[in-house]
Structure 1
Amino acid sequence: MTFDMLAPESDDPPPEVPPKIRNLLNRFPEVLTEPHGVPVRPVRHKIELIEGSTPPKGCVYRMGSGELEELRRQIDEMIGKAWIKPSESEFGAPVLFVPKKGKLQMCIDYRGLNRITRKNAYPLPRIDDLLDAAGGCKVFSKIDLKSGYHHIEVDPAEQHKTAFKTHDGLYEFTVMPFGLTNAPTTFQSLMDKVFRHQINRFVVVYLNDILIFNKSMEEHMRHLEEVLQVLKEAQLHLNLEKFEFGRDSVIYLGHRLSAAGLEPEATKVEVIRNWPQPANVRELRSFLGLASYYRKFVPKFSITARPLSRLTSKNVSYTWDEECTTAFAALKEALVSHLVLRIADPKLIFVVTTDASMYGIGAVLQQDDGDGLRPLEFYSKRMPSHKVVASTYMFTSADWKDFTSQTYDMKLKMTFGRHPEANRLAEEINQTVIQLLRALIVPDQNSWDEELPIVQGLYNNSIHSSTGMTPNRLYLGWKIRNPLSYLFPEQPPGLTPGQPGYSAKYDRLLKVVVAAMERRRSAMIKHANKKRQPDPFTVGNYVWVKISEFSEEEGVSRKLLPQYYGPWKVLNRVGNDSFGPSYTIDVPAHLRTYPVFHASKLFSYEPPETFKYR
């Protein structure tokens, strides 16, 4: 169900504010007042309907005298704040009340409108990314915006679509109500714009939950003041009943964050502890949904939950057996007795330990912070047994590649199809491997794969002409011993990963290698440019296309065919790759080929009249 909830006020007393922070808040009275009106903002909410849809019309539900009195009070309050106004719309969502903490909470059922609304694909942040951003911090503040969605105006042309029916008439919103399908993405878009200079530096935002994190209280006070200034300029208002300031630990998005690391929120763990045995698939999916939210705290989650997950599959009858009881109890116990996970530190080495069983794979990502290896996250995936053998490393690498790719700014670059020369590094290594294999597989070439470990050892222990050192030393950080090493006096042991000073030593090694590669690169560019000429192809000219770019005809040998087809006209230049651009060629339709070809596959056409003696 998707409803608009309009009057949630907590009965809990507001938490105590430290004196320093209270003095800071007193300097920003604008953010502590009650929100009202419709401020002008860079974001407006729009409601785009699916073509051909019919406006939904709800009914007016019966209400008791107490509910009618509360309805009129809330309607009058929202009219006074200019959040709603009388309407003559053809739309009309129903209104009802639900009890919450001894109060009546007004809800508007927008499910009919949501069914015919085009969905906005603006992304919400990944929760694990938000939690990782606070790694290593010791001081936290969490603030919540009061009536968050009501800070955004609904586009005037769309306001009639928010209309809702009451006993006193029809009203429509001028501000964004809760319950609309695209409301979260619109609100996140506003938050991303408002805090664009602070996000991921010392602030993360998930909808109206704002977390400020720092390593010291002095730094935290400066950044908290900056956040309050941003809120003041954006005319956003704090909810002082839902905040925590200057804490050493804080609850955020269902997790407890502290300097020690990350753990599930205690109240959520208690809910899991007291969860009764599911009586049907719907109840089981609810349990698995909550448990799966904390799966990174549970080793081999997918394998443990396998009997329960099987019951949620299609065409499987819901039969609770002893295996399900065991899995249900094991999951609850694992979540109740969870570990405190360390938040990843990009300066420390990552250690991945994998395991597998007949039903799936499991892994743990760890780091050593001086007190031994501590887990960052547990990973598991259920799969058929025939895939398990080759899949453990592949799946964990794909799942945790963000830890290293973001830290070291790695980017994946795809090579051009049918142009292997673009991947020059791989081609060069292939040529070297082939040369080494030739010396090892004569006369028996069938055993070439058995010689690959020897080739790998030879290559990785040979000095590379570009880096000036062996690949093994560059990868591991120290020189590998070989049989000749035992003929010379033993050298003192070097630093290894995890020891103090290793990172600094390895950084110096990388700087030496980068400088050597830059010198080599400059020399290679100078040599290559001696005979390199500008690309001769221009739009409108005619070119020949290499025959290898077309599919072979059955029964026809390519060796006896012309090496090029054409000539055809150049229609467009595509891309600007350093290895040469590609071109769109006017290839006849009957050849049925993709008409974009790399420059290396083309040859300039010269018309016959240019050869006067021909």
Structure 2
Amino acid sequence: MGDIQHVIDFIPGSIISNKPAYRMSPKEHEELQRQVKQLFEKGLVSESVSICAIPALLVPKKDGTWRMCIDSCDVNKITIMEPQSFPRLTSRVDIIKSLCVREMNGRLHSRLVMGYIVSSQGIEVDQGKVEAIINWHIPNTLHDVRNFHGLASFYRRFIRNFSSIAAPLTKCLKRESFTWNTKAHRSFEEMKGRITRAPILALPNSDQYLKLIVILLMWVLVLFFLKKVGQLPFSVKTQQFKVEIFNL
């Protein structure tokens, strides 16, 4: 397991859930044991010494196989929820930009803020993080593939045809045992290149994006009114034009 150990904080004075297993047929019980053993072999779970026990159940899938589900309703009721939600990326970017402006005015030395180097020259990606991805070792286990696939998935909305590029890695995760082939290696190297090349790790320039939207909207309004008064020098479908703009 990883070096970071996570804990679940319960409400003080709560009765810890300790439920018996649900009644299952011999076939379902055998399937449940098989899935648990598989999770052990992949290193995704480990034995627990906690007095907290919650039952598991099997739900049939469309392809005839079973999905194991955990009934954690009682645990959720006594769990202390995080009072603060995760910060939005846009707000974090605004903080970094404000720090950059202050450093430019004060001519301060560069500093590391949230994985970015902020200095009087602007905002740059921490090269240490880029090198860590470039030097990422070739996966040797399913756990290694899952770690890299999880990192790449974080940037999937910025990578065109992400699903097609990552398809060989996704197939590796669906197999019962670890298998590494030429296609998986090509996908691994391609994904590393896509993640570390600009503009994936670059901060978005919201000012430029806002200017583009304003200019496009102005053109939409101009074309709309010209068409209304019948002075449009050429034929254009205004409604279709607006739809195409908002889909950018």
TM-score tier by shorter-chain length is 0.3 to 0.5
Question: What TM-score do the two structures reach when normalised by structure 2?
Answer: 0.42
Question: In proportion to residue count, which structure has more strand?
Answer: 1
Q: Which has the larger radius of gyration?
A: 1
Question: What TM-score do the two structures reach when normalised by structure 1?
Answer: 0.19
Question: In proportion to residue count, which structure has more helix?
Answer: 2
